[in-house]
Amino acid sequence: MSNARAPHLTRRGILAAGGALGLGAVLAACGDDDSESGGSKATESAAAKSGPWTFKDDRGTTVKLDRIPANIVAFTGVAAALYDYGVQVKGVFGPTRTTDGKADVQAGDMDVTKVEILGNVWDEFNVEKYAALAPDVLISTTFDNAGTLWYVPEASKDKVAKLAPSVAVSVYDRQLTAPLERMWELAESLGADMAAAKVTDAKKRFETAATRLRAAAKAKPDITVMAGSASDQLFYVSGTNLSIDLEYFKALGVNFIEPPESAKAEGGGWYESLSWENVDKYKADIIMMDDRSSTIQPADITKPTWKQLPAVKAGQVIARSPEPILSYDKCVPLLETLAEALEKARKVA
């Protein structure tokens, strides 16, 4: 999940579990990996906007419209995934632009100048702009069993809900392949051509990358990997439970450092918070660091204790995307980067 810390475990704070650094209320997506989606097939043209359109989301909620949604508003990462499948949204909310005006890492390949940005930071969502878009549907992810829509502010969620139906894709306590499949089904229902070479090739590359990672993990079973995220005051160590990427990597055989459940209690079961003085509590050979713009990146960490970590001294620090863009194209590099790191890693911890 995301990562942001607050005095109490909040929804954004739970994000830290997946990377570390966020604020909000504990999320959880009540999902059913076997949920079925209906609607148009890949052979139908998205431009035709013919209906009816039906989709059953991971909350078990079925949205029915008389035509394929034309005015789609989505969380930035969801919009980026749909973009990879050829589905363009009208508006986005969530990290979209960095402070220098460039596209945020979570925006993927989208041209952020061509979408209406309703909110760029946590707890920001312009309801008036949302209404002006005449939305057909709002799509987001959910990080809890309650189906809370990610990045839709608690204060305005009721107003938002009255303007259009919503669809939630669960990214809670399941392996990466499950939400990838759901996003595929959603894109197909929206009229995307899932038989396009670009799409099918990306899926094949993902499968090849998964095979490579499994082989690398099997060849280096003694290499330990730690998933971390940095803020000015704290360092967060994520456990593999709950996070879609880490659960999947672990299933492929990667040897992760696992904070005890008791240590992750403050982080809602997602992560353990460490002071920078105690950042050497766990000895890892490879450190995966949260790449989101809300976190401090490795090159900018000046803490002496960080620089003394074996993996840091050995140059065995790689990026991690706690909130992956759920298209096969964007998930391929996640597997390849970790596989390459394992293949090259030396035992240093």
Region 245-260: mean pLDDT is 97
Joined together, the tokens standing for residue 188 give 């197909």
Specify the pLDDT at position 91.
Answer: 98
Beta partners for 140? 168
Instruction: Tell me the percentage of the chain whose pLDDT exceeds 70.
Output: 86
* Residues ≥6 apart with Cβ < 8 Å to 188: 37, 39, 40, 41, 42, 194
What's the rounded Cα separation, in Å, for the pair 108 and 106? Answer: 5
Bigger pLDDT: 311 vs 43: 311
Q: What is the pLDDT of residues 162-184, one digit of tens each?
A: 999 999 999 999 999 999 999 99
What's the rounded Cα separation, in Å, for the pair 202 and 199? Answer: 5
Q: Is the pLDDT of residue 37 over 90?
A: no
Joined together, the tokens standing for residue 303 give 């803490």
Region 271-280: mean pLDDT is 97
The answer to whether 257 and 224 are in contact (CB under 8 A) is: yes
The answer to whether 308 and 280 are in contact (CB under 8 A) is: yes
Q: Is the pLDDT of residue 291 over 50?
A: yes
Question: 10-24, 48-62, 100-114, 247-261: lowest mean pLDDT where?
Answer: 10-24
Joined together, the tokens standing for residue 281 give 């509590």
Region 315-343: mean pLDDT is 98
The CA-based dihedral angle spanning residues 127, 132, 134, 137, taken in that order and rounded to the nearest 10 degrees: -30
Specify the pLDDT at position 50.
Answer: 67
Beta partners for 103? 97
- Among 253, 243, 178, smallest CA distance to 213 is for 253
Specify the pLDDT at position 51.
Answer: 74
Residue found under tokens 């890492």? 105
b or e along 187-207 (b: 16 or more beta carbons within 10 Å of the residue's beta carbon)? Answer: bbbbbbbbeeeebeebbebbe
CA angle 321, 322, 324 (to 5 degrees): 60
Chain length of the chain: 349
Specify the pLDDT at position 297.
Answer: 97
Q: Is the pLDDT of residue 12 over 50?
A: no
What's the rounded Cα separation, in Å, for the pair 13 and 59? Answer: 22
Specify the pLDDT at position 241.
Answer: 94
DSSP 24: S
Burial (0-12, 13-18, 19+ Cβ within 10 Å), 63: buried
The CA distances from residue 222 to 63, 228, 316, 338, in Å, are: 48, 19, 15, 15
Q: What is the pTM of this model?
A: 0.88
